[in-house]
């Protein structure tokens, strides 16, 4: 491990996915299906990407996992959210009880659900489906100092990676819960993109106009308080949350293991943005589920060079948008594996005559 305070774990050494022969076989396989060339649109591109990530002409998604990271934020006490901080731990209980939106969608699609206490200001009773990886009971107030220390940031990255190493399968959906975390994500985006905070921050949990202006004023103050961090991990430690930091570590580990990463919305996007600034090849392993209704998400996706699968006006988080997009990944794999070719079906292929 490097002695620098913000070192990327040595395990994370991502190779660029560059198998021209596999790409050619995937394209030929798709083009040979009983359909006009390109007629399945973006589903064809998705099928090629899944094959490339998993290194197979007929990729199969095995033991898919939803992992929801939860953490509290010191800045929440200043009123950046329409909801109190207690909602964080209460929603963790709701996830575990099966009553949250992502819980319902995970059941519907056969996705295993794990909830991670990355730094919630509450003590949970141990139970199945819950992992306690608490770095601290919430981050610090960013107007007083960095959200976390360098050591805490490193511990969070390592904890997220460890969560992934302990889970089966080759496909992951990451979700989050943390009152105030749209502010943390907006600050990360603003500093890493160089865009003004007004373009990056939105209404979060549903702030009215006056509350939104107070939030923007507060976030401008935070950025002025910390003018120097520009390196990805220092930005993460200064402005992030424990749940965002653990997700960054989890994304890096999942990418290193060549798992498919189905990216949810704005908050998960911030974790991916940090990971991608550290290791750009992360993005080859990422499928972006949807464009959310949070105003900074389009800018986030542009920074990531990403084209989302869905646009449903969602702004819930939890991994819910990614769970909704999951069937598209299954369909793309089934098209490769089960759809007949012109030759096998005995159908004339006009476009190849």
CA angle 255, 256, 261 (to 5 degrees): 15
pLDDT digits (tens), the chain, 353 positions: 334 566 666 545 688 999 999 999 999 999 999 999 999 999 999 999 999 999 999 999 999 999 999 999 999 999 899 899 999 999 999 999 999 999 999 999 999 999 999 999 999 999 999 999 999 999 999 999 999 999 999 999 999 999 999 999 999 999 999 999 999 999 999 999 999 999 999 988 889 999 999 999 999 999 999 999 999 999 999 999 999 999 999 999 999 999 999 999 999 999 999 999 999 999 999 999 999 999 999 999 999 999 999 999 999 999 999 999 999 999 999 999 999 998 888 888 865 44
DSSP single-letter state for residue 290: B
Nearest to 289 by CA among 312, 256, 271, 259: 312
Position 351 scores a pLDDT of 55
pLDDT of residue 10: 54
Q: Which domains does the chain have, with CATH numbers?
A: 20-60+334-352 (1.10.1610.10), 65-327 (3.40.50.10210)
Strand partners, 177: 70
* Residue matched to tokens 């907006």: 186
Strands in 171-177's sheet, in edge-to-edge order, are: 130-132, 112-119, 65-71, 171-177, 260-263, 286-288
- Structure-block tokens of residue 224: 């002025």
pLDDT the model gives residue 199: 96
Q: Which of 93, 231, 318, 338 is catalytic?
A: 318
Is position 318 annotated as part of the catalytic site?
yes
Q: Where are the alpha helices (DSSP H) in the chain?
A: 20-31, 42-54, 86-97, 101-109, 150-165, 181-193, 197-200, 209-225, 232-239, 242-256, 266-278, 297-304, 320-338, 342-345
Give residue 3's pLDDT.
Answer: 43
């Amino acid at each position: 491990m490097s002695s620098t305070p913000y070192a990327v774990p040595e395990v994370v050494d991502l190779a660029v996915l560059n198998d021209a022969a596999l790409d050619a076989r995937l394209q030929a396989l798709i083009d040979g299906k009983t359909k006009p060339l390109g007629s399945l649109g973006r589903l064809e591109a998705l099928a090629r990407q899944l094959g490339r990530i998993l290194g197979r002409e007929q990729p199969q998604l095995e033991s898919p996992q939803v992992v929801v990271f939860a953490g509290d934020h010191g800045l929440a006490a200043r009123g950046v959210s329409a909801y109190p901080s207690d909602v964080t731990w209460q929603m963790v209980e709701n996830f575990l009880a099966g009553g949250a939106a992502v819980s319902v969608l995970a059941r519907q699609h056969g996705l295993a659900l794990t909830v991670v206490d990355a730094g919630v200001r509450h003590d949970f009773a141990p139970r199945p489906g819950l992992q306690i990886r608490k770095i601290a009971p919430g981050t610090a107030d960013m107007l007083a100092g960095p959200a976390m220390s360098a050591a805490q940031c490193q511990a969070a990255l390592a904890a997220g990676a460890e969560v992934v190493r302990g889970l089966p399968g080759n496909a992951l959906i990451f979700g989050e819960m943390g009152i105030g975390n749209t502010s943390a994500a907006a600050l990360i985006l603003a500093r890493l993109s160089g865009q003004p905070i007004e373009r990056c921050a939105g209404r979060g949990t549903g702030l009215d106009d006056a509350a939104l202006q107070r939030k923007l004023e507060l976030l401008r103050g935070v950025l002025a308080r910390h003018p120097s961090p520009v390196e990805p991990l220092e930005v993460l430690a200064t402005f992030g949350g424990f749940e965002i930091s653990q997700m960054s570590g989890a994304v890096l580990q999942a990418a290193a293991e060549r798992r498919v990463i189905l990216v949810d919305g704005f908050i998960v996007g911030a974790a991916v943005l940090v990971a991608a600034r550290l290791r750009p090849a992360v993005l080859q392993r990422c499928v972006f589920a949807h464009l959310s209704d949070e105003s900074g998400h389009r800018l986030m996706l542009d920074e990531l060079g990403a084209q989302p699968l869905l646009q449903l006006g969602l702004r819930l988080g939890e991994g819910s948008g990614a769970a909704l997009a999951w069937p598209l990944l299954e369909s793309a794999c089934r098209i490769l594996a089960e759809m007949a070719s012109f030759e096998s079906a005995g159908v004339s292929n006009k476009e190849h005559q």
